Every structure is written in structure tokens, then in C-alpha cells.
Amino acid sequence: DIYDEFSNRDHRLWLHVTPPYRVDRSASSTAWDNKWKFTDNSKDRSFIDSLTVRMGIGYGTSKERQKLLPFRQGYDGGILGASPHFDFYLENQPWYKSAFGYNNWKYYCCYLSMGSQRNEETDMPIFRIEEVMLNYAEAMCELGEFDQTVADATINKLRPRANVKLMKVSEINSAFDPKRDLGNPDYPNDYEVSPLLWEIRRERRIELFSEGFRFDDLRRWKKCHYALKKKLGQYVRASDFTTGTNVTIDGGGSEGYLEFHPKQSHLWPDYYYLNPIPRNERVLNPQLEQNPGWEEGN
């Protein structure tokens, strides 16, 4: 279930995606007040009780903590009754919803009281030292110079704070991750990602989640076909929702992963890896030719 899915995980998961919980809101009939109590199910309160201990993110008083459960909407006293909160099953609470069941709160600061002002004052970094470390780690790997010393200066600076085992370069071999990208035969020029580079790219994906890097990284690696994989959400049972709720489950069964859209039937065209050159730039410089594949009429 969703509680097991979030248990014993990289702590960055809890910082990036709202952990699951459910409270009993029977004391209130409105979505905007703060009247609630715990349910009789211990799992429903497990992440509420242990968030500070697991995350180590208390900054003094409880008011100053960035991540609070139950999730506060920013309206004075507004609390979300459950996470995950689905857009097809709103339970009389219209905000902070998702199609997949996973809500991003990486840069959501729960102690702000926005009220009617609708102002968001959460700081977001322009760049972080973590990005510099990961850039260096990847570059050294591409040069064939990534060793334990580089791992200790980069990735192993990031993992301890997330309660993740340190990287030991000597342990990473062809059997380290059975799901490693071995190349896609649908793309004649696709390539196998080496075990070490695969782990470095994984660390980058996790650490820089939701910071706008992923699409550029996939283009840089010439791996944009990853984006065409079937997108699936939380594992659910249709019986957990009110009769008549439109729940789209992968494979059409009574339980399974939520399906956002089916697997795409087309391939990623090679010319998509280059941007089209704007027409106004080519008017300014008639010698400038359009990138292949983007010519008018194609």
C-alpha cells in the first residue's frame, strides 16, 4: 500500500513528495477549517507522528518547520484531509490534488499563512552546490576518471543527509542494477549506459527532482525516449472509491496502477534533439539555415 511504498526510503522522497496520511474530518463539514482528529488506523498517522524524526528538519519552534502534516493549504486553518488526494476523488476539498496520487511539495513551505493575499514567499535557489557536485561527478565519469575519491567528494557528500548508503565504486558492476538501460532496439543509434554512469545519472535525477533539469538532461544524453514510457501512478483498488468514480487503472482491472496515458505508439524523432531556429533570426541573417527536420513543410 501507499504507506509501505514510502517506508524505508531515501529521505529526499519525503522532502519532495507529500507522505501519505489520513485524518478523520467528521467533526467538520467544510474544507476550510482546522477541525479534525486521528483515525483509528495507526498507519494513517504514522508519517504525521514521525516526520520530524525521520527528516530531521525541525528548525526550532514548530511554526518554523517547512514540512508539516496534516498538509496545510496556506489558507488560515485549512487542512487537507488525506494524502494522496486525487483530482478524480476530491472528497469536497478542491485543492492540492493530483492525477497520479503523488503531490510535489519540494518548494512548498507549510508554515506560511497566505490567507487571501495569495502570495508565495518560499525561496527557491538559482543554483545549488549539489548541482555543481553532480556536474563534476558526471564529467569525471565521462572522462573515465571517476573513482572512489571523486565519489567521496561528490555523491557521498549528498547521501548521508538522506539516510542512503554511501557509494562504493568497487561494488558497481554489470549486475548492480538489473533495470539499467541496456539500449533500446527501436532506436538504431541508442547506446547502453555503463553501470557507473547509470548510478551517477540516477543520483542526479533524485537530487535535482523538480528543479527543471530533467528534459535538458535527457536531450543531452540523447535519451528522450524515456519520456514516452507509459506513465503510471499509485497502486489503487477501485473499491476504495465511491461507486461511479472514474478511476482509470492500467489494464482495466479492479485494482492496479493508475494510468495517466497509455504507452505512446510513436518514436522520438531524432530532429527533436535540436531546437528549430526562429524565423525572425533567419530573416535577420539569410545565411542561417534551419536545423534538419524543422524545414517548412515537414
**Sequence ranges of the domains in the chain:** 1-121, 129-226, 231-261
Q: Do residues 167 and 155 make contact, with C-beta atoms less than 8 angstroms apart?
A: yes
Q: Do residues 3 and 46 make contact, with C-beta atoms less than 8 angstroms apart?
A: yes
pLDDT band at 176 (very low <50, low <70, confident <90, very high): very high
Tens-digit pLDDT profile for residues 46-70: 888 777 655 544 433 444 456 778 8
What CA–CA distance (Å, rounded) separates 298 from 291? 12
What CA–CA distance (Å, rounded) separates 146 from 169? 9
pLDDT at 94 over 90: no
Beta carbons within 10 angstroms of residue 56's beta carbon: 10
pLDDT at 115 over 60: no
pLDDT at 290 over 80: yes
Highest mean predicted confidence (pLDDT) among 27-41, 107-121, 161-175: 161-175
Q: pTM of this prediction?
A: 0.86
Q: What is the pLDDT of residue 36?
A: 77
Residue in the structure block whose three cell numbers are 514548530: 62
pLDDT band at 247 (very low <50, low <70, confident <90, very high): confident
Tens-digit pLDDT profile for residues 142-173: 999 999 999 999 999 999 988 899 999 999 99
Highest mean predicted confidence (pLDDT) among 83-97, 119-133, 162-176, 261-275: 162-176
Q: What is the pLDDT of residue 258?
A: 93
